[in-house]
Structures are given as C-alpha cells and as structure tokens.
Amino acid sequence: MKVLLIDNGTTLLEKLKTLIPGEESIIRFDNLKDILTDSFDLVILSGGSAYYLVENEAKFSEELKFLRNTTKPVIGICFGFELIVKAFGGEIKKLENIDKGEKEIEILDNTLYKKPIIKVYESHGWGVQKLPENFDILAKSVVGPEIIKHKTQPIYGFQFHPENFVDELEGDEIFLQLFSNLA
C-alpha cells in the first residue's frame, strides 16, 4: 500500500512514521499542489501545532481542496481531523483549556473496535463546534467527537494522537485496525 503522509507541522512526525505499516511518502502541507495524490492508496493528515486553522485557512487551501475532491481513503489526526471538519462545512472552536493527557473515549460503532471504552492521548486546543452534516460520530468523549467518518466516503478523523504513548494506551490499536480495514 502506498501511503502519502501530509505533515501539517506535527512534533510527532517520527512517532507517526513508526506507527504507519510499510513505507510512506512524506510532504509538507504547503507542497501538496506539487504531488499527484492519485498515485497513493491512502492519505494521512498529521497533527500540527504550528498554526491555528481558523487564522490560517488560506495556508491550507490546497489541503482543504484535496479533501473536498478526493475519492482516496483519508485518515486525519488532530489538526488533520480539524481540516476534515472544516473542509466539509463543519465548525471548530477554541477550547477554554487545552485538552492534554490520557483520556477515555467511548466507541459508538463496535464494527470499528470491539472494546466499548479505550484510553488515548489528547493534545489539542480546538474542538468541534458543529459536525458536518455528512459525517457520523464513531467515538466520543466528554469534550466531543473523537472519531468521525464521512457517510459515503472513506474519510476518517481522529481528534486524539494514536502515535503517542503506543505502549501504554490504545489509540494506536484502533488506528491500526482502521488502517488494515482500508488497506
């Protein structure tokens, strides 16, 4: 499987590369227009801590356009999750406090993962204010949606970081389960 990893300025790039089975090609978000995305089987959108999407939407216009037009499977992580929400007409909001650390999330779709509650690592200052109409919530926490899926396309968003604390938490397991389902 050919995987395109779009780096949105994550500090966890090496951990994410280690988590992804097989080989991936990595590009920065601002080089997306130079890549033929049709030559990849799956696209992963990394997290990112360098920019706020609300204030920098123009910087990510190519990525937003890609999301609206792709037929490829996509998994967005944290900032990638927020890009997916924004691309399809949803709204994000700044949280009062940064949501950081180990959190429990409730799995609402047991075809995604068999355990009803899992522990994951969160590190984000933004959350969903309004989910796009064409998305379902597959997992949630007290903060809001944690895993979303487009109703008709293979586009998924993870609000948490499955690449962090893989030995202690279960975010990596649900990510790898979804990855193998899309492979």
Our answer to whether residue 163 is catalytic in this structure is: yes
Q: Among 63, 78, 122, 124, which one carries the catalytic annotation?
A: 78
Q: Among 122, 146, 163, 170, which one carries the catalytic annotation?
A: 163
Report the SS3 class of residue 116: coil
Residues 6+ apart with CB under 8 A from 161: 12, 47, 77, 78, 120, 121, 122, 123, 171
Our answer to whether residue 150 is catalytic in this structure is: no
CB 129 within 8 A of CB 85: no
CB 72 within 8 A of CB 43: yes
Report the SS3 class of residue 48: coil
Our answer to whether residue 124 is catalytic in this structure is: no
- Residue positions annotated with a catalytic role: 78, 161, 163
